Amino acid sequence: MQPFTTHAGLVAPLDRVNVDTDQMVPKQFLKALTREGFGRILFYDWRYLPGEKPNPQFVLNFPRYQGASVLLARANFGCGSSREHAPWGVKDYGFRVILAPSYADIFYNNCFKNGILPAILSEEQVEELFKRTEKEEGYTLTVDLPKQTVSDKHGLCYKFEIPPARKEFLLQGLDDIGTTLQHEASIAAYEKSHAATATMFEPLDVKYASNSR
């Protein structure tokens, strides 16, 4: 997973509360076995008209927001089912950062596992960012994870909090598997010692088979 330190990118505003994971990736797309291609179907029912024609009324289809990598959202973002396909879609689309006042817990945790920073700002701070994004075409933000700040070129600077362990995982580019592999030597040593011990005992299935005779 790619480490996250700082990121500067164009901001796209999604001005809706309670955006759920079924809207991010509708259920008919959950049969895919890999993470690739979910960017195309992110917010599928909002982005497309029948025949997969881009909906000109949906914000991500506006020309001014093409190439955005910072998603500005409202409260309770990522609610609904626990599907991990939702952050897959967010990342595959090109978003590295989400800024919102609050997130559903499972979605929030899944973002870190996929290299996405879901920063939490206050309602007032998010409202100010919506105003600035609408007012200035090409509005960009810089997100500094080590300093835990969100800033723009006009002097705005907001601080955000993040669990220390989650911060470290992003800085090092570690997901759950990567974190586990940091202890690979200890795991191998444990398995080696317990493999030797296991041969001293009769397998349970053999024991039970003899008792049943």
Q: What is the pLDDT of residue 63?
A: 98
Any idea what the CATH number is for the domain that residue 65 is in? 3.20.19.10
State yes or no: pLDDT of 179 exceeds 80. no
pTM for the full predicted model: 0.82
State yes or no: pLDDT of 21 exceeds 90. yes
Residue 34 phi, psi (nearest 5): -120, 170
Residue 64 lies in a domain: yes
Mean pLDDT score of the chain, rounded to an integer?
88
Task: Sort residue 67 into left (φ over 0), alpha (ψ -120 to 50) or beta.
Answer: left
Q: What DSSP character marks residue 103?
A: B
Q: What is the pLDDT of residue 210?
A: 47
Q: For residue 212, what are the CA distances in angstroms to 112, 127, 207?
A: 51, 71, 9
Query: How many helices (H) and strands (E) in the chain?
Result: 10, 9
Q: How many independent structural domains does the chain possess?
A: 1
Residue 201 lies in a domain: no
Q: Which tens digits make up the pLDDT trace of 40-78?
A: 999 999 999 999 999 999 999 999 999 999 999 999 999
Residue 122 lies in a domain: yes
Q: What is the pLDDT of residue 206?
A: 45
What number is the average pLDDT over the span 102-130?
97
Query: Which residues form the domain of 157?
Result: 6-174
User: Would you say 72 and 12 are in contact if contact means Cβ atoms under 8 Å apart?
Assistant: yes
Selected residue with higher pLDDT from 196 and 204? 196
Percent of the chain past pLDDT 90, that is, above it, reads 73
Report d(CA 160, CA 145) in Å as an integer: 9
State yes or no: pLDDT of 172 exceeds 50. yes
